Structure 1
């Protein structure tokens, strides 16, 4: 049986969510065998042992391999103070050169994702003539993005957290070098890191897939806050009812006390199934920031003032 190729990028701070994501995929795609690559710039010995134990328990459904990438080439990629991503976010750009040459298609996923149904239809999509298959971002029709990045808005704007990558295309068209060169020459434009750069580099070559394969947090709240064409609303509503990959891409993750995702319990249940214990919740905010968050919570609860951190979801 031919294996399905899966890759996630992680660092020492994100390994438990990454393994939770992998396990959720295996559980909801039990008839498939996966070749899983975890790309990192380096793991602690403790995390290596955690991955090894996890792998041995699932050896009948997946072969898991750690790839340690040299991140010297990424040292000039912009990470601003306060960003909730690390340099690991840029590792996906290097997939054509660090993955085995015999792999021509692979599904890339961020580590803050869980799978809740089969992803075979998405994985098996024919993208031979495309650079990738991805899902439109919540800001797909945001004029600011296209003005800032200077590419045609009819090309759309995808979220880079889920990408079915045509590695043959990326290698043949030197996408890695083009994307890195764009970043190095346009650091001030790349507000959303590699996502902005990939959208420019791949503009016009992307196959846009169903929203259910990357259901990001913004879609779960008031649609008036979205910057996406009204014609996509019915498809978004359908994705909410029948999700496949739920992406917790907001600042506050399901392991944070501050998280207000309507699907946070799903992630926590998935974590418990993976590790056999409840996730230890923690505050994202520290010090004064935590005090301010608590004050906002009180004011919001008492209906004195409303804050976006506590907005009500449209999910029933």
Structure 2
């Protein structure tokens, strides 16, 4: 394979397949001038959906994860509540060994907005991976403090540029799984926390534009960021529960998601509702958002739901 090819991997079950396809489409449409290869590791996905994913682009190689890889966690691990993707993503570097030397891992809730060819200029020969921060306050990271990480450094694992040889040599998968087994019940961000502990600072930070957390924007910026080209991140990561693919989360981010979604085989699938997943915090957020938009009746309805939920 061309050593300039940018290899990108995802790991998903059936629930996030169309969002992976949308993320991949955003990468392709903003990088038509460079060679790309996508490796999508899937489990619990029917054959028809796998064919849909393949139809998204000929650049996609779908790899079905062997049932044995999944069942060993069901049988041997006591942390039953953790999504299996937590464990599967840790296995991806091992499963890609021999195919590529380095690759970008991306979460499904990411969209690409710019050229990513610069990744080939980032040297990770001496580290396990290149990462980006999980907070704009890089000098006082509360997650590093929570985990008692002495360096004070903590990264967001939705984007990882991984050196497979170094990952395997440092036994990251085994170490992270052991941490999950011993502490998983107490970790609010299980795989991310485990990776931060397991890598022991054997990583480098790169510019946050590779994994820009959407909630870093102010409410005003959330509706204008796409039009400020000189500051537009390469990749935006829509962390948290209010994803752009939920119909209640209208606005610029949803419009952009729908644009890329339109070029996937899921284009005729309507947006899903977030109602069943909502928490009191969500009701309050939507109330404020609707009030700012002048939708006062909708705002009052959301706020009543918020008050009612607090009384339960």
Pairwise same-fold verdict (TM > 0.5): yes
Matches within 5 A, 1:138-177: 138=135, 144-154=142-152, 156-177=153-174
1:107–1:123 CA contact under 8 A, matched in 2: no
Shift of residue 172, structure 1, vs aligned partner: 0.9
Q: CA separation in 2, counterparts of 1:185 and 1:240?
A: 45
Evaluate the alpha carbon distance shift between residue 239 and residue 128 of structure 1 in structure 2; reply closer, same or farther with a 3 A threshold.
farther
Shift of residue 239, structure 1, vs aligned partner: 9.7
Shift of residue 130, structure 1, vs aligned partner: 1.1
2:131–2:203 CA contact under 8 A, matched in 1: yes
Superposed CA offset, 1:5-49 (max 9, x none): 110011101111101111111111112222211112231122112
Q: Which residue of 2 aligns with 1:190?
A: 187
Q: Which residue of 2 aligns with 1:179?
A: 176
Q: CA separation in 1, counterparts of 2:46 and 2:205?
A: 37
Superposed CA offset, 1:48-81 (max 9, x none): 1212322xxx33xx2523231422343337475x
Q: CA separation in 1, counterparts of 2:13 and 2:266?
A: 22
Partner of residue 52 from structure 1, selected from 38, 51, 54 = 54
Q: Which residue of 2 aligns with 1:14?
A: 16
Partner of residue 110 from structure 2, selected from 113, 119, 139 = 113
Matches within 5 A, 1:256-267: 256-259=246-249, 262-267=252-257
Q: CA separation in 1, counterparts of 2:282 and 2:203?
A: 39
Q: Which residue of 1 aligns with 2:240?
A: 250
Superposed CA offset, 1:170-204 (max 9, x none): 11111110111111111233210100000111132
Unaligned runs of 5+ in 1: 223-237, 311-316
Q: Which runs of 4+ in 1 moved over 6 A?
A: 290-296, 303-307
Q: CA separation in 2, counterparts of 1:216 and 1:162?
A: 11
Q: Which residue of 2 aligns with 1:91?
A: 88
Q: CA separation in 1, counterparts of 2:175 and 2:55?
A: 38
Q: Which residue of 1 aligns with 2:73?
A: 74
2:40–2:60 CA contact under 8 A, matched in 1: no
Evaluate the alpha carbon distance shift between residue 47 and residue 200 of structure 1 in structure 2; reply closer, same or farther with a 3 A threshold.
same
Evaluate the alpha carbon distance shift between residue 211 and residue 268 of structure 1 in structure 2; reply closer, same or farther with a 3 A threshold.
same
Q: CA separation in 1, counterparts of 2:191 and 2:142?
A: 17
Q: How many residues align?
A: 284
SS of structure 1 residue aligned to 2:10: strand
Shift of residue 119, structure 1, vs aligned partner: 0.8
SS of structure 1 residue aligned to 2:33: coil
Q: CA separation in 1, counterparts of 2:216 and 2:188?
A: 21
1:107–1:164 CA contact under 8 A, matched in 2: yes
Superposed CA offset, 1:61-120 (max 9, x none): x2523231422343337475xxxx832133221123212424221110011111111111
Superposed CA offset, 1:135-181 (max 9, x none): 10027556642343222143x11111000011110111111101111
Q: CA separation in 1, counterparts of 2:194 and 2:213?
A: 20
Q: Which residue of 2 aligns with 1:203?
A: 200
Q: Which residue of 1 aligns with 2:258?
A: 268
RMSD: 3.4
1:131–1:166 CA contact under 8 A, matched in 2: yes
Give the structure-1-normalised TM-score. Answer: 0.78
